[in-house]
Structure 1
Amino acid sequence: MKLPIYFIITLLFLLLSCKFMDNKTDLLANYKWKNRILVIFSDSKDNSLFQKQLQLFADNKEELKERDLIIFQVFKEEDTEKGITPHQKSISSFDIEQLKKRFDFSFGEDKNKFTVVLVGKDGETKLKTENEILTLEKLFGTIDAMPMRQSEMKKGKN
């Protein structure tokens, strides 16, 4: 009789531990409920779409800030995959692989060379564009239509 109870408690502990570990290994988990996230994938740091997208965002920092947007960049440099966090820190190879897997991106000749993904504060993918610039109209239109953003605007947070 005691054996099944110990087994159930141990199993429950292991399941909860795995769930806790998943959040620790998810690079984006720290931003859940705090920020909306843009993940930009590019086959090269010199890709013209990548450069134009970054410039568009740089030119509109205040609008991005109002919407609690932060940007992660993942790109290839020579034969190495690299990533940069919103705080200009390097992203580990493990985290790059996790991001690629989560958002179904692959660096390869037959694959997309440029992708932008919008992740909502709830951690879910809200928008994905491939091989084209994500316009501010599309980005802000998507965000501003979200219930959480509507609530933020009503509370006076631009």
Structure 2
Amino acid sequence: MKQGITLIILFMSMMTLNGQPLAKHQWKDRLILVFSNSPGDSVATEQLERFREDTAAVKDRDLLIYRITPAMVNGPGGQQETTSEWFYKYYRVGKDEFNIILIGKDGGEKLRSEQLIQPEKIFDLIDTMPMRRAEMKRDKQGSKQ
């Protein structure tokens, strides 16, 4: 039984961002990855617009958003050097599919959807995470001082 648990922990640790194009974000940022088949994809554009409507909530939760198409990776700093091929393979997304994936600060995948999703659903999920709860507690204590 101990060996099985050890293997699960080892596997989970391999699924984090260490050594990958997004490793610089681990333990600092939460990520939203929006995959679509083209930059003009209306579903992806609508999803991104929903996040733009509540930039304060996005910023408060340390969320950074990446738009990924077969031709490009467009992140918070503009177009990225990394090719999109890595993202499609690593996250097992078809190049003709819409997907939205939430990555936690620990580098683990927290949510995946093939349909548009309300940002509030993602915000609510993040707010239940232990790291986020600690952040909110710390922020609340800081505002009392």
- Structure 2, unaligned stretches of length 5 or more? 1-13
- 2:93 corresponds, among 105, 122, 137, to 105
| Residue 156 of structure 1 pairs with residue 144 of structure 2 | no
Calculate percent identity across the aligned residue pairs: 34
Q: Aligned runs of 1:10-21 on 2, under 5 Å? A: none
Query: Number of residue pairs matched?
Result: 126
- Structure 1, unaligned stretches of length 5 or more? 1-18
1:127 paired residue number: 111
- CA distance in 2 between partners of 1:153 and 1:92 (Å): 33
- CA distance in 1 between partners of 2:85 and 2:106 (Å): 21
2:8 paired residue number: none
TM-score by length of 2: 0.79
Root mean square deviation, CA, Å: 2.0
Q: Aligned runs of 1:1-158 on 2, under 5 Å? A: 23-24=18-19, 26-76=20-70, 81-93=71-83, 96-108=84-96, 113-130=97-114, 132-156=115-139
Structure whose CA Rg is larger: 1
- CA distance in 2 between partners of 1:32 and 1:67 (Å): 14
* AA matched with 1:147: P
Quote the offset at 1:91 in angstroms: 3.7
* AA matched with 1:86: P
8 Å contact from structure 1 (residues 119, 127) kept in 2: yes
- CA distance in 1 between partners of 2:46 and 2:123 (Å): 17
* AA matched with 1:75: T
8 Å contact from structure 1 (residues 41, 114) kept in 2: yes
1:55-111 per-residue CA deviation (whole Å, 9 max, x = no partner) reads 1111111100000000111114xxxx2111211133432xx2221122111214xxx
Moved over 6 A (4+): none
- CA distance in 1 between partners of 2:37 and 2:28 (Å): 29
